[in-house]
């Protein structure tokens, strides 16, 4: 990882009547442009995520997607969907006067990278993807229905499932949605549900789960945003729209980094993407889902160093 401390410029870009998107520009102002797309949905960029890129070579653009991080209004799901974020990315490219850029995204960020590239293939020089998630039904079921990741972490799954009344456990995404967004639901119950949602995620994202987040507002924002997108099938649906449109991006040099023991986004999706997109380089490493797992991290930095030669 590189150390990138200085922000050359940053701001809030008005992308709708409701939303202002936070963006920042680091590294070499005259360097190779790259945009980092964070995961979640509901995560955010950070100083640490600048470190995937050599700041002497890259002009590093980061954003916080609608409702995330420093974007305003925080945790707002109104007027918030995949295709609006794709439009926001393109609006920022135009705002910064960038003709083309490399796109880097992991997990939900890989989904967003792929749909952005398919919508604007002429604007993407390369793709670096990690922890592939295509928002197909079986991928959501793996995370939120009994029989998938629940078999790996049964004790964590039990806590996540048992928070919901037995009669509503057949659809946990909807059950949590009814609490997180329900009118008349107490603030304390919403926070409890948010914590259960995030604690389940901590187990499947990190090889060594972290301490629970103590910030109620952050926990509520992450859980609400993720649930909003899963409730609406990522605004993509089960029509395999990403795999069906690979021909639009087959010319784009692409590196896929996948942790062999990724429980959140299992290797099946990276494998399926590689089958549809044989020109891409699939690099499987010993690691989990997090981009900061040692071998995953090394492979991502190696990928950006490799593409740094494409000037």
Catalytic hit among 45, 107, 140, 224 = 107
What's the pLDDT at 171?
Answer: 97
Quick check: 245 and 118 in contact, CB under 8 A? yes
Separation CA 118–CA 157 (nearest Å): 35
121: which 2 tokens? 């293939």
From the candidates 19, 38, 203, 289, give the one annotated as an active-site residue.
289
Residue 6 phi/psi, 5-degree rounding, is -85, 135
CATH 3.40.50.1820 domain range(s) in the chain: 7-134+240-307
Query: For residue 282, what pLDDT is reported?
Result: 98
Burial 198-212 (b: 16+ CB within 10 A, else e): bbbbebbbbeeeeee
CA dihedral 291, 113, 235, 185 (to 10 degrees): 40
Phi, psi of 41 (to 5 degrees): -60, 145
Of the listed 25, 64, 88, 262, which one is catalytic?
262
What pLDDT score does 217 carry?
84
- Asked about 310 being catalytic, the answer comes back as no
Tell me: cis bond preceding 41? Omega within 30 of 0 counts. Answer: yes
Q: Are 300 and 110 in contact (CB under 8 A)?
A: no
Per-residue pLDDT of the chain in tens (311 residues, 90 and over written 9): 999 999 999 999 999 999 999 999 999 999 999 999 999 999 899 999 999 999 999 999 999 999 999 999 999 999 999 999 999 999 999 999 999 999 999 999 999 999 999 999 999 999 999 999 999 999 999 999 999 999 999 999 999 999 999 999 999 999 999 999 999 999 999 999 999 999 999 999 988 777 777 788 889 989 999 999 999 999 986 666 899 999 999 999 999 999 999 999 999 999 999 999 999 999 999 999 999 999 999 999 999 999 998 87
> How far is 308 from 311, CA to CA, in rounded Å?
7
**CA gap 82, 225 in Å, rounded:** 12
| pLDDT at residue 186, rounded to an integer | 96
- Is 45:53 a contact under the CB 8 Å cutoff? no
The answer to whether 262 is a known catalytic residue is yes
Q: What is the pLDDT of residue 58?
A: 98
Is 95 one of the catalytic residues? no
Q: Which CATH number fits domain 7-134+240-307: 3.30.420.10, 3.90.1150.10, 3.40.50.1820, 3.40.50.300?
A: 3.40.50.1820
């Amino acid at each position: 990882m590189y150390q990138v401390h200085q922000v050359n410029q940053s701001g809030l870009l008005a992308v709708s009547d409701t939303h202002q998107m936070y963006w920042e520009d680091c590294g070499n102002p005259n360097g190779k442009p790259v945009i980092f797309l964070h995961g979640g949905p509901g995560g955010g960029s950070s100083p640490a995520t600048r470190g995937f890129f050599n700041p002497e070579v890259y002009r590093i653009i980061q954003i916080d997607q609608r409702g995330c991080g420093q974007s305003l209004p925080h945790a707002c799901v109104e007027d918030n969907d995949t295709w609006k974020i794709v439009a926001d990315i393109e609006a920022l490219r135009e705002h910064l006067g960038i003709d083309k850029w490399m796109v880097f995204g992991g997990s939900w960020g890989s989904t967003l990278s792929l749909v952005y590239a398919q919508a604007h293939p002429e604007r993407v020089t390369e793709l670096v993807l990690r922890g592939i998630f295509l928002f197909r039904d079986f991928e959501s079921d793996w995370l939120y229905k009994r029989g998938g990741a629940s078999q790996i972490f049964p004790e964590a799954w039990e806590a996540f499932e048992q928070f919901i009344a037995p009669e509503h456990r057949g659809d946990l995404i909807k059950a949590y949605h009814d609490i997180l967004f329900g009118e008349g639901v107490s603030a304390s119950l919403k926070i409890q549900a948010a914590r259960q949602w995030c604690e389940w995620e901590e187990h499947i994202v990190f090889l060594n789960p972290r301490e629970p987040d103590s910030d109620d507002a952050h926990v509520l924002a992450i859980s609400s945003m993720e649930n909003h997108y899963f409730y609406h099938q990522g605004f993509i649906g089960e029509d395999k729209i990403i795999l069906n449109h690979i021909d639009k991006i087959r010319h784009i040099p692409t590196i896929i980094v996948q942790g062999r023991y990724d429980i959140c986004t299992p290797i099946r999706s990276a494998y399926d993407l590689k089958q549809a997109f044989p020109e891409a380089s699939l690099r499987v490493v010993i690691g989990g889902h997090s981009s900061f797992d040692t071998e995953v991290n090394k492979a991502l930095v190696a990928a950006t160093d490799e593409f740094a030669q494409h000037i």
